[in-house]
């Protein structure tokens, strides 16, 4: 499902126009991103939890030359599906 398809679906199911649905979806994404940036978890019971994982610095290899390269430590977004979502996908 694309973003546009999601906006159309929200618009139809909520009985609002596509502009309002788009604004709501943008707000959702923005608020999840802002919370993760602040180091907070975002949890939706039954659906899942968005969080930030830390990756340690490590040494990698350039696949073309084989030369060693330093890969710095970084933070990456992570999503863990809740039980209700996992069960819905299994069926």
pLDDT tens column, 45-86? 999 999 999 999 999 999 999 999 999 999 999 999 999 999
How does DSSP classify residue 63? T
Q: How high is the pLDDT of residue 19?
A: 97
Percent of the chain with pLDDT over 90: 98
3-state secondary structure of 56: coil
Percent of the chain with pLDDT over 70: 100
Burial class (CB in 10 A: 0-12, 13-18, 19+), 72: exposed
For the segment(s) 41-91, the CATH number from 4.10.520.10, 2.60.120.1440, 3.40.190.10, 1.10.10.10 is 4.10.520.10
Confidence of residue 91 (pLDDT cuts 50, 70, 90): confident
CA distance 84 to 86: 6
Q: Taking the CB of residue 49, how many other CB atoms lie within 10 A of it?
A: 14
Domain ranges in the chain are 1-39, 41-91
Q: How high is the pLDDT of residue 26?
A: 97
């Amino acid at each position: 499902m694309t973003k546009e398809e999601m906006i159309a679906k929200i618009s139809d199911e909520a009985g609002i126009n596509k502009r309002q649905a788009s604004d709501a979806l943008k707000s959702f994404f923005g608020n999840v991103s802002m919370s993760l940036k602040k180091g907070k978890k975002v949890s939706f019971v039954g659906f899942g939890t968005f969080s930030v994982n830390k990756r340690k610095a490590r040494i990698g290899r350039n696949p073309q030359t084989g030369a060693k390269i330093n890969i710095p430590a970084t933070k990456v977004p992570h999503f863990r599906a809740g039980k209700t979502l996992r069960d819905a996908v299994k069926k």
